[in-house]
Structure 1
Amino acid sequence: RNLKPRNLTVKLINPSVWSRYKLVGGSQRTCEVSGTGVSWSGDAPVCQRITCDPPPAIPHGTHNGSSRDTFSFGDVVTYSCASGLSLAGDASLSCSSADGQRGSWSGAAPRCQEVRCPAPPSIANGQHGASPGDRHGLGSVVLYTCTEGYSLVGNASIRCTAAGTWSRPQPRCQAIGCTRPEIENGKVAGLETTYSLEDIVVFECNFGYALKGSQESQCKFGGKWDPPVPTCEKRKCRGGAGWELISEPLCGGKGAALKDWKGKTCTYLSFHPHNPHSNPGRGCPGRCGRHLAPSLERFKRHVDVALGHMG
């Protein structure tokens, strides 16, 4: 550009895209007329990249720029701590400039401190082994247990990690249900193998056995049945001659032949509920299926007739 022979001042401005650079030298030059010629006053300035001093060191830690000597505007360094310690503060610092001339780091350097996990969470109907005020450093383990009548669901332990958090969610305590009750010479209605609280089971005895106790029982806290599981006892006719009725045909319908009546024990009995000789009566109160056993008096007469003895 040709300039007329008169005094002229030119001002140099840093464009924003050059914000990472600084101007070294005068920001203005004047076109001066001297005699028959013109010239610019002073020396031309230069643009230099803004730099920062090396980032500060921290005890028990380092940053990823430790192998470098120079740090320019926009550079970022990240800090880390030795094993067993955690970083407190911003992990990264960036080289910036507030005045466009001097570089500085964006904030204070972080520090390294012992890893600490917060107090372990509590659980309902259970507890953990930590005490109030305990310090939970890296690797610390806390164990959980449940109060009586409850079982633990989940992992029993949690561990303090390098991130200062617990390794997994805390477990929970669940009320213990009941297992299927056993009854000798009998059975439990249904096919379930486990029961929840307040579930009710119904007991039945095998043929020839009588239920002693409650026919129903409810699952209670702690895995206990209430009332207690009943027992099945062998039926006996205690009246008259004291016979013991043990044959399945006693329930009516077609049965086996009569024998051994004179031995005080009726081993087999054939009778039908509509047979007048086997109507319910005194002497044997036991039940077979839906029909009452015949009385000993009627039974004796029935046997006498069957054997050909008329007395």
Structure 2
Amino acid sequence: MITICRTSVLLGLVVTVAIAQGQSCSKPVAGPNMKLRNKFILSETFPNNSRVSFACADGYMAAGWPRFITCTSGTWSPVKLICQRSNCGYAGEVEYGRVDYPEGSEFGDRLVASCNTGYNRIGRTTIYCGARGWMGRLPVCEAQACDPPPPLTNGDYSPKVEEVYFYENMIIYSCDKGFALDGSKSAVCSESGQFMPRDPPDCIYVGDVKCKDPGRLANGERTAGFQAPHGYLSTVTFRCDSGYIMVGAGTIRCGLDSNWSPGLPQCRFQRHADCG
């Protein structure tokens, strides 16, 4: 009777061990940003000693080893695979512009491209880092164009181009013989697409310029510029009498507006330190 009991116990232990050793595993739980490889996706249970592997989701790259786990007596071994965000890296440069990475250059981050002053962007401003790299091309920065300025009466400008000028191109104005330039001598193509200063100069006929005789200088005298008429760029020079100092310019010039520039000087009495 005792022998029969011992035999039953031993048989029970053998059956229990056999069941434990052959116990299958349920579907394993994947770690962050990973999934079971395709051939394992449809299975719900896995026999003992099964080995399955994981793959990182799109946009993530594998780190850590091994990539597989093993079913042992109903329990999966620990998942050691780590899936990190992939890095799109350096996207390149934009000529006449810049590229900024406000968030970084990893999967899901974005870059922002911009153009320098005077240049227009052709293309996208924002590009995202995708699973297979940057999802788009960097834009191109083109210089702002300016139409040629209007013709200058009794004058011209240079250089001349056939179609358009571009940002920071400069033109120089000049007048025909017998005319003088009244206004800016140059203009520059600006970021607004217009030449600045916006208003072109005038070419004034110098034969029409006449400045009135400045007359006598109180407490002083004229030393040059006696001959009339006083036309464009004619000059008159003064000096003060002894004991007086000049306030203003000693030489004045006849301008295009038929006025003297600067105005007539003054001679003021110079007090000495020992005077009461």
**TM-score, normalised via structure 2 length:** 0.40
Compare CA radii of gyration and give the structure with the larger one.
1
**TM-score, normalised via structure 1 length:** 0.36
